[in-house]
Amino acid sequence: MKFLPLTLSLAATLVAGSAFAQSGYTIKLGMGTIDPRATSSDLKGTLPAVVSGTYYGTVNVNGGVSLEVQRQDTLMFSIERALDEHWSVELRLGYPPKHDVKLRVNNPQLSYQPGDALGPTKVDRVGAKLAANNGLVVAGVRQWAPTAFVNYKFGDKTHALRPWVGVGINHTTFKSSTNAIGNELYHDGAVRVKLSDSTGLAFQTGLTYQIDPHWSVQASWMTAAVKHNLSTYTEHSVQKATYRFHPSVFAAVVAYSY
């Protein structure tokens, strides 16, 4: 919730403007590609052993199983307010993209409780099911990531080409759910996925080409520090992991200034 006062403060700045503003507002609209560069830590917890629809208990998973978020394209939108010839504030939004999530299996570390007569059979069954689903999309995650920036533009405002940089704060909210493959992988009733929010520093850089006093085109790259905790629950099992994102967001937009 720390991000909310910052967002409200920036919004107030954008609406109220500045006595020193020379260029007013700039509205940007275009497309972006988000490469999350995110793989979870190894899942730790328990996995259900279900054979032909019959539940035989759980096995422990201590490593070798992770989740990988895939890249996605999305609509990009932002509003920027000039403070003077060089400085501006910007609120960067966009349509919340939904990323595919693939299962990654690499020598899974599965175990069972001592004295469990079905333990070896359960480990074999769960291991075979994990191997069969390795590399498949088992879930989807939708993210909403508003980011507030303070930007600095180089050069004179009369120049057609102006590079710029910005630093700011990102707040990312996630919502995830399994698909049919993921549900079958667990085969243990409803699958509930919980993801914590994340707030961290963000950086962007870009280049503006001014077509006329109002219209311009921009190309930019943005990244942010994003970390969240993942918990997956079924009727009889739970797994936990952490994600660390260092996304690369490449965007091309058309901008209108007034």
Which sequence spans correspond to the domains of the chain?
Answer: 3-257
213-233 tens-digit pLDDT: 999 999 999 999 888 899 999
Query: What is the DSSP pairing of strand 198-210 with strand 54-61?
Result: unpaired
72 pairs with which residues across the strands? 34
**Residue 215: predicted pLDDT:** 96
User: Measured between alpha carbons, how far is residue 80 from residues 11, 20, 31 in Å?
Assistant: 10, 15, 17
**Residue 116: predicted pLDDT:** 85
**Residue 50: predicted pLDDT:** 82
64-109 tens-digit pLDDT: 999 999 999 999 999 999 999 999 999 999 899 999 999 999 999 9
6 vs 165: which has the higher pLDDT: 165
Instruction: Residue 228: name the closest of 253, 257, 193, 203 by CA.
Output: 193
Question: What CATH topology corresponds to 3-257?
Answer: Porin (2.40.160)
23: pLDDT confidence band, cut at 50, 70 and 90?
low
**Residue 157: predicted pLDDT:** 84
- In the numeric block, which tokens belong to residue 187? 């085969």
101-123 tens-digit pLDDT: 999 999 999 999 888 888 898 89
**What is the CA 159 to chain-centroid distance, rounded?**
35
The H-or-E segment that residue 49 falls in is: strand 44-51
User: In sequence order, what E strands does 83-237 have?
Assistant: 87-92, 98-105, 110-111, 137-144, 147-153, 161-178, 192-195, 198-210, 215-224, 226-233
* pTM beyond 0.95: no
